[in-house]
Amino acid sequence: MSRAIRGSLLTVVAVIGLSACSAASVIVDPGASRVVVGNQPPPDGAQQLGGITAKHGHGCGLYGSEGNFEGAHALLRNKAAALGADYVQIVRVLEPGRFEGICNARDFVIDGVAYRTRSPH
């Protein structure tokens, strides 16, 4: 095998490895640790802050990286905290492997509605 082919193969392997790692873990922001996520409606008196969507993973078929619930959940909590929310009601979950357009989607998606259930400090 020539050096050019070996170099190209190493580049492809490195890109695939890096894209697989990119969706592996998500850092939860410090403020997001107080955000509760659930399927139930928020408590009475909660202020609706808006809809939010978290996508973990990307691409389709053999390309991109497979998302998972834990990664999408962490991203959802981060987005909610950035809005000043302390509760997110999940309204839809889309798992990887669903057919979207012309390919099988690899992202894990959680749609929710962000709420503030108590007054900000």
Query: Mean pLDDT, to the nearest integer, of 5-14?
Result: 39
The answer to whether 52 and 76 have CB atoms below 8 angstroms apart is yes
Domain assignment present for 111:
yes
Contacts for 63 with CB less than 8 Å, ≥ 6 apart = 106
Per-residue pLDDT at 98: 84
> How does residue 21 score in pLDDT terms, banded at 50, 70 and 90?
very low
**Distance, CA of 93 to CA of 111 (rounded, Å):** 6
Helix ranges (DSSP H) in the chain? 3-22, 69-83
pLDDT of residue 64: 85
Distances (CA, A) of 45 to 7, 55, 111: 61, 29, 22
In a domain, 121, yes or no: no
Name the residue range of residue 8's domain: 3-116
- Report the number of distinct structural domains present in the chain: 1
| pLDDT confidence of residue 1 | 52
Do the domain assignments include residue 92?
yes
Structure tokens belonging to residue 32: 């997001």
| CATH number for the domain that contains residue 105 | 3.30.110.70
